Amino acid sequence: MRRASTLASSVLSRTLATAHGGAVSDATSLSIQHRLLQAALYGSRTGNAHSQQRWFSPLFSSSSVKRASVGAAGALIAVVTATSLGQEVYAKESALPEAVPKDVILYQYEACPFCNKVKAFLDYYDIPYKVVEVNPISRKEIKWSDYKKVPILMVDGEQLNDSSAIIDKLSEKVFSKKKADLTSEEDEETKWRQWVDNHLVHVLSPNIYRNTSEALEAFDYITSNGNFSFTEKITVKYAGAAAMYFVSKNLKKKYNITDERAALYEAAETWADSLNGREFLGGSNPNLADLAVFGVLRPIRYLRSGKDMVEHTRIGEWYTRMENVVGNSSRIKA
């Protein structure tokens, strides 16, 4: 119960403190543009990396100990009261400790919704992972791989490709089970995971790049967080935003989208309907479909399109619950 723990740490710490006082050919250029556009389909926000604080308690006088004890008791009461009165607290599911991989490396574009889907799984199950940001122009970071798309996940030396396949394989590893015979709940989960890949992701790009100002907003984040040189940042921000504005119009036609915002709102409402009064599709805890929807929406949540989506649909409460239960990123330094 991470939120309660954080609140307890904050209150207890204050109590203790009180007690103690490049040129290329045309063909290559086109190839680079294609890869860049693939990488830049979405803007993204990620959680902060884990931070840990250690409290060192020096020797206290007898009176200080008494004050600290009384204060600590009061802090615990305050935590219980605040939690029960004003906050929803969700317990995370635990992976089997002996099954958690020892070395996980994610090759990604920070702006990729499918990469964010994998990260949502890793974050929720507290699986530590390192990130290698791939330059979408040169892709030199994955030249060693025959598979040239992201995400690529290396798990204890084994290469896993494609976001849904990665999550399936991780689920088998972490929970030591295979989904041979689907229960009705797992069948529902599979249905909605497919909906994410086959429908939800396709309405995102036309919304992110709906107009020039929203395209620039997205690329401002992409170039600030992606693996670009200084020159690439300047070029990509403006040229990329302009290019994606026109690309998004073609995507609207391809997927028969007449009103991009209406399509986004409809998708959000469809997901809200699927919950059927439940906190999560998985019931009291998120399942893989919850994590998939949350993962692909994280890139747009704090862009204009994501803010509009939350304001005009019923998805906001579910999304907030997911933010709380997924918690901070499990990313560690590479």
> Is the CB of residue 170 less than 8 Å from the CB of residue 98?
no
How far apart are the C-alpha atoms of 329 and 49, rounded to whole Å?
5
Query: 3-class SS at 317?
Result: helix
How far apart are the C-alpha atoms of 151 and 134, rounded to whole Å?
10
* Residue showing tokens 């958690």: 100
- Pick the closest to residue 261 from 316, 186, 311 (CA basis): 311
* Residue showing tokens 């994501």: 306
129 belongs to the catalytic site: no
Catalytic residue among 42, 90, 107, 115: 115
Catalytic residue among 42, 90, 107, 109: 109
How far apart are the C-alpha atoms of 251 and 202, rounded to whole Å?
8
How far apart are the C-alpha atoms of 24 and 31, rounded to whole Å?
10
Q: Is 114 exposed, middle or buried (CB count within 10 Å of its CB: 0-12, 13-18, 19+)?
A: buried
125 belongs to the catalytic site: no
115 belongs to the catalytic site: yes
Provide the residue type at 197 as one letter.
Answer: D
Provide the residue type at 77 as one letter.
Answer: I
Catalytic residue among 42, 112, 125, 294: 112
114 belongs to the catalytic site: yes
Bridge partner residues of 299 (DSSP) = none
How many CB atoms neighbour CB 272 within 10 A?
16
Catalytic residue among 42, 90, 107, 114: 114
Give the dihedral of Cα atoms 217, 223, 225, 229; nearest 10 deg: -170
Question: Cα–chain-centroid distance for residue 102?
Answer: 21
- Triad 245, 247, 251: Cα angle to 5°: 115
How far apart are the C-alpha atoms of 291 and 113, rounded to whole Å?
12
How far apart are the C-alpha atoms of 302 and 155, rounded to whole Å?
31
How far apart are the C-alpha atoms of 114 and 332, rounded to whole Å?
20
Looking at the annotation, which residues are catalytic? 109, 112, 114-115
